[in-house]
Amino acid sequence: MAPDLPLSVPPSYLVITGAVWGVAWVGVAVALFTGRRWAPRAMLLVGAAFLLWTWADRLLFVRSEYALRTLPFGLAVTLLAVALVLVVLRRPAVRRFFGEHTP
């Protein structure tokens, strides 16, 4: 039996959003691993949408003291992850893999 968790949203919200993001990320992963030319742009688009959604969700629905105390750390990790993705996608070898011309 599932525990009675104090959720601020209905469980169906969690299932639906999890499924939508799961499908989106699997699509991006397949495109990246198969070297589709449009994969880096899809990564940036889905990544930006996911970050905006995650932070909006966190700021609007999360009310625990722990979550509020960890907001600065979460923001730092988010910024670090964004920087890492941008650095990796701009590497000449990565750009060549996806068929982009490098200077």
pTM, two decimal places = 0.83
Reported as a single tens digit per residue, the pLDDT across 66-88 is: 888 999 999 999 999 999 999 99
For the chain, the domains span 11-97
**pLDDT tens string 25-56:** 999 999 999 999 999 999 999 999 999 999 99
Return d(Cα 73, Cα 40) in angstroms, integer.
Answer: 27
Q: What is the pLDDT of residue 87?
A: 97
Q: What angle do CA 85, 86, 92 make, to 5 degrees?
A: 105
Residue 55 exposure: Cα atoms within 13 Å on the Cβ side: 14
* DSSP type of residue 16: H
Instruction: Tell me what pLDDT residue 1 has.
Output: 54
